[in-house]
Amino acid sequence: MDDLVKQAMAKWPNVAACYGWLGLDARGHWYMRDDRVQALGPFVAGPEVSETQRRAQKGARLTHDKLLAFVARNYAADDAGQWYFQNGPQRVYVELEATPWVARVPGDEAPVLSHTGVPLEVQQVWLDDSGQLVLQTAQGPALVHTADMWQAAQRVQSGQWQVKPLPSTDWERYFGYKKSPWAQRAAKG
């Protein structure tokens, strides 16, 4: 975490947390979700929602390199398994499409990296019912990026990774994280 962020937290310790304003999709892209977007529905839309509506509910994709780097450096989880971005003194909870990390798997023996560039220490590999691979890492669960499935398959085929089945419906419970802190907060009243 940035020193300036730590200083801001010390100076203003009681800033209310922010929910629903930031999302992370299954390809490792961050999305800003203002009030208008949040009113359209949750970050992860159900199957009954049109593709146009689904895109609108995600919000605006963040593309500014320095902002993305700032978010990456200040991304963490709380004790309840809710992931957040510490924006100065304010904790901005993240809506997750899949897992808190998205893994990029290089084609050689190079280390697996997260969507934020953090090296991931792979401990176990899980395959869900739709063919998605989730890596259990020391940093938390990481969905393998769809563009890297070939490289991941090569690691499985070579015996480097041993795969076990785990349905995607069990990910939150098994790995102990929350996909939607916003929904958790709303359920509490």
Span 19-49, pLDDT tens digits: 999 999 999 999 999 999 999 999 998 889 8
Rounded mean pLDDT, 127-142 = 96
**135 contacts 122 by C-beta, under 8 angstroms:** yes
Which of 97, 147, 103, 96 lies closest to 125 in space, CA to CA? 103
> What band does 9 get if pLDDT is binned at 50, 70 and 90?
confident
Cα(48)–Cα(31) distance, rounded to whole angstroms?
A: 22
Strand-pair category, 60-61 with 163-165: unpaired
| Residue 7: predicted pLDDT | 83
**172 contacts 96 by C-beta, under 8 angstroms:** no
pTM: 0.93
Domain ranges of the chain: 3-98+177-188, 101-175
| Residue 47: predicted pLDDT | 87
Average pLDDT, the chain: 94
Span 65-96, pLDDT tens digits: 999 999 999 999 999 999 999 999 999 999 99
